[in-house]
A and B are shown apart, each in its own frame.
Chain A
Amino acid sequence: MTQTVKFYQTGTLTVGNRLLDSDKRTVQASRNRSNALTCGHRACQGCGEALGARYAIDAAMRAANRDLVCVNATGCLEVFTTPYPETSWQVAWLHSLFGNAAAVASGVAAAMRVKGKATRVIAQGGDGGTTDIGFGCLSGMFERNDDVLYICYDNEAYMNTGVQRSSATPPAARTATTPAVGAAPGNVFGTGKNLPRIAMAHGIPYVATATVADLHDLEAKVTRAMGLHGARYIHILVPCPLGWGAASHDTIRLSRLAVESGLFPLFEAEHGEVTATTPIRRRVPVAEYLKPQKRFAHLFRPDAPGAQEALDRLQAMADANIRRFNLLSAEEAVR
């Protein structure tokens, strides 16, 4: 009765694990990670964007042998890391404007090519900088298939300027510009954009979604993207404790619940076709994800108008994702 020994104590779901071969541990488990985004930055306690950016750029640094340039759009990630004269970046880093990160990165990539350098280029920004103001530049970068990996850190609103709605804000969410008042409180249903699917529609070499809750998954996707050339896009869900009205220690739990509820499907696509999805491990109703967030508090007040309908519609969105990406197809993912 021999059994194959697996790391059941934690499987490979944790960041490291002393029982695991070092090549199976994450970049983050290494004392030699580059800490591309280091201490002393001014992000809020428990900021998902700060975490997601370090996860992603450290993985990219490893993949690029640290020969990397990052172009940043305006937004929290830029503001909290580089208040003059400080910087938290331990990577070549460049900021121009709110809406032009993709275009600047295209330019940097072109310059590298001209100079005959193998330096890799990443552009990064928030959801506002990506799905709204920077969308034209981004779509152009995709369409030209410029050799840039664009990473969107999606915290579902314009956080840096005080939580205004973006086209990535989910329906029913309260923001400064979609207050929880009236018959249909919060953000309007049926609006917004799904940028990962729009990116896929450009037929670019690689598109993926990730969260800060699944580090192995996130690093694998960044590494895969860095292994390809041409226009690539990764969309990372990064909870914002301030804007979402959530406890600072819940950032990772909320990312996990977003995935487990089906609201945020994890997948990869190449040249417009979905190539892989990450199955849900322990499915939860959307309410479990929404409830700890004050931006959805009005959905849980018994007398609130339209609350149940809104919850049902959000659940229907999750169910649709589960169907579309076949998120329950695999048995529980024991990895």
Chain B
Amino acid sequence: MTEHPFAITLDAGTSLANRTGSWRTSKPVYADHLPPCNARCPAGENIQGWLYHAESGDYRAAWEVLMRDNPLPAIMGRACYHTCEDACNRGRLDQAVGIHAVERFLGDLAIREGWRVEPGPPTGKRVLVIGAGPSGLSAAYHLARMGHTVTIADAGPKPGGMMRFGIPRYRLPREVLDAEVERILAMGVELRLNTAIDDIPRAMAEGGYDACFAAIGAHLARRVDIPAVAAGRILDAVSVLRGMETGAEPPKLGRRVVVYGGGNTAIDVARTARRLGAEEALIVYRRTREMMPAHDFEVEEALEEGVLVRWLSTIRRMDEGSLVVERMELDDTGWPRPTGEVETIEGDTLILALGQDVDTTVIERVPGVEVNKDRTIRVGPDLQTGHPGLFCGGDMVPSERTVTVAVGHGKKAARHIDAYLRGAPQESAPKHAVAGYDRLNTWYYTDAPRTVQPVLDALRRQTTFDEVKGGLDETTALFEARRCLSCGNCFECDNCFGVCPDNAVVKLGPGNRFRIDYDFCKGCGLCAAECPCGAIDMVEEEI
């Protein structure tokens, strides 16, 4: 140290010697908050994470991040009810990001390009999956990625479960379904079709399996007793839709088809009836449109195709070529009650779409397994039944019945089965706090209306099973991906690096984000305030 004049302690030179970081009472910390879309995806997708790559046009990387959680993006981009979009913060700015549309684009691109996923290094463990629906397929995929040897047994003639025998082609083309199933099988997963399992412990013992995941769905159509004259044709929706796939010819429906029920299945079967040539397809539902379990956009699409709906009505009797319906009204609690007013309507076919129950016969017999009152199977938080090593998921366990939930269960079960096979508890990463709208500094986002997916013309929608909704092309998908606000996760906009009056943010270069230089950060909080996506927290310093 040189001799200093009186009251001077620093060598002449730069102010870098002056560590102004000591002034700080709170400090900025980079954090990855949970984007609301991710939080609401039943399959646990890292949506913001894959959109990030799609934004730069790196679709392969985007697809790979997507595939970490969901092996069926082309299917999900079509069939999923995208609860993520209801949660999307952009919805409060203009319109939600069309997440499903970009997902579908990526899924279709992967099929076109033949992108594959490699199985993990073999562990020598064998797992039996019962049911090749979305839940079973998802479990098989994730187990294969972990290196386990997987066999899927399915009672049906083709894989896919309700994705094939429920969801109609005009919403999910079978080439797409086949391609995504094939990709899972290409990982070395064995699929045995026409193989109904009737004794699970025996099947496991005979095949030498170390664990089992059962996802047999809910296929037993619920019925109600409707008095009918002998000639009255009463069918159930699931059988009709199944007949579309299995029969040599499509099922023969009458000219005037009446569908009873208000769920998505009712809508699908009515739209199918229209396509099969029914002059009239009428949905009869006990309650109001608002109370319909079917999604509003599906009701809308059905109405566009000429499907008729009679709300607040029940069916009392079926006669030759006609039905007797009774008008309902809502009581004070909003529950529908009969009014006694009846009316006769024309109809030669009645299709019941009143929901499905689980066929519990096979699983009930397994020691330790418990069946709930509503015929679902009781499982723990790890999706394991009371029978060690037997896990269940999808429609057969208590939860929402969607493809997405089923896929999520498959992933979750795979993780717990893997832990079970390793004899180690399954560790899940701690959940980050949700990046709500309040975290955003929306000033930095410019307005951009949502990209509209092309829709098939009305005539073809009423006469063919061609897919109704079109996909995005490369530019529209890129545009849509770039509408993402990247909630709670740094996207390297350089704002923090720019706005620091103390030059205390260090830019680490593309992909590496930033670092705070706490020697000089005074804790003013400008970086956190001006971060568009809320990726910086101000944390109190311990003083």
Contacts and interface: CB of A to CB of B under 8 A. Distances in A.
A42 B11 CA distance: 17
Contacts of B475: 2-5
Given A5-B475, A8-B483, A31 B56 contact: no
A16 B446 contact: no
B494 A14 contact: yes
A47 B526 CA distance: 10
A48 B473 contact: no
Contacts of B538: 249
A85 B497 contact: no
A13 interface: yes
A42 B483 CA distance: 40
Given A11-B446, A250-B529, A16 B476 contact: no
Interface residues of A, number: 58
A15 B501 contact: no
B482 A9 contact: yes
A6 B448 contact: yes
B501 to A, nearest CB: 4
B510 A18 contact: yes
B335 interface: no
B320 interface: no
A328 B445 CA distance: 20
A42 B18 contact: yes
B161 interface: no
B482 A39 contact: no
B473 A40 contact: no
Interface in A51-106: 51, 54, 81, 84-88
A146 B122 CA distance: 79
Contacts of B519: 39
B322 interface: no
Contact of A40 (B19, B55, B448, B484): B19
Given A15-B493, A39-B502, A249 B529 contact: yes
Given A248-B524, A248-B526, A8 B448 contact: yes
Nearest to A335: B446
Nearest to B441: A253
B239 interface: no
A38 B510 CA distance: 23
Nearest to A82: B15
A277 interface: no
Contact of A9 (B445, B502, B510): B445
Among B12, B15, B483, which residue has the most Cβ atoms of chain A within 10 A? Answer: B15
B64 to A, nearest CB: 19
A334 to B, nearest CB: 5
A37 interface: yes
Interface in A1-41: 1-11, 13-19, 25-26, 28-29, 31, 35, 37-41
Given A9-B445, A13-B443, A215-B498, A249 B524 contact: yes
Interface in A84-137: 84-88
Contact of B446 (A13, A46, A85): A13
A252 interface: yes
A94 B45 CA distance: 57
Contact of B529 (A11, A28, A252): A252
A4 B482 CA distance: 12
A19 B482 contact: yes
B446 A38 contact: no
Contacts of A1: 451-452, 454, 473, 476
Contact of A88 (B14, B445, B510, B530): B14
Contact of B507 (A6, A31, A247, A252): A31
Contact of B517 (A5, A39, A45): A39
Contacts of B12: 84-86
A41 B532 contact: no
Given A10-B446, A14-B444, A85-B8, A39 B498 contact: no
Nearest to A38: B503
A43 interface: yes
A76 to B, nearest CB: 12
B483 to A, nearest CB: 5
A1 B479 CA distance: 12
A40 B16 contact: yes
A91 to B, nearest CB: 13
Contacts of B445: 8-11, 13
B444 A11 contact: yes
Given A86-B15, A249-B524, A9 B494 contact: no
Contacts of A47: 501, 524
A15 B12 CA distance: 34
B509 interface: yes
A50 interface: yes
Contact of B483 (A9, A14, A15, A215): A9
B15 A51 contact: no
A312 interface: no
B494 A2 contact: no
Interface centre among A4, A9, A84, A250 (most CB of B within 10 A): A9
Interface in B469-498: 473, 475-476, 478-479, 482-486, 491-495, 497-498
Contacts of A35: 503
A43 B504 CA distance: 13
Interface in A229-266: 241, 247-253, 256
Contact of B16 (A3, A17, A39, A282): A39
B526 A5 contact: no
A42 to B, nearest CB: 7
A143 interface: no
Nearest to A333: B446
B493 A251 contact: no
Nearest to A43: B501
Contacts of B503: 35, 37-39, 54
A128 to B, nearest CB: 20
Contact of B15 (A26, A40, A334): A40
B499 A252 contact: yes
Nearest to A26: B498
A14 B498 CA distance: 9
A275 to B, nearest CB: 25
A309 interface: no
Interface of B: 8, 10-20, 23, 55-56, 443-448, 451-452, 454, 473, 475-476, 478-479, 482-486, 491-495, 497-504, 507, 509-510, 517, 519-520, 522-526, 528-530, 532, 538
5 contacts: A11-B446, A25-B494, A38-B14, A39-B15, A41-B20
Given A7-B482, A46-B524, 12 more contacts: A1-B454, A8-B482, A9-B491, A13-B444, A13-B446, A14-B493, A15-B493, A25-B494, A40-B19, A86-B18, A249-B528, A252-B530
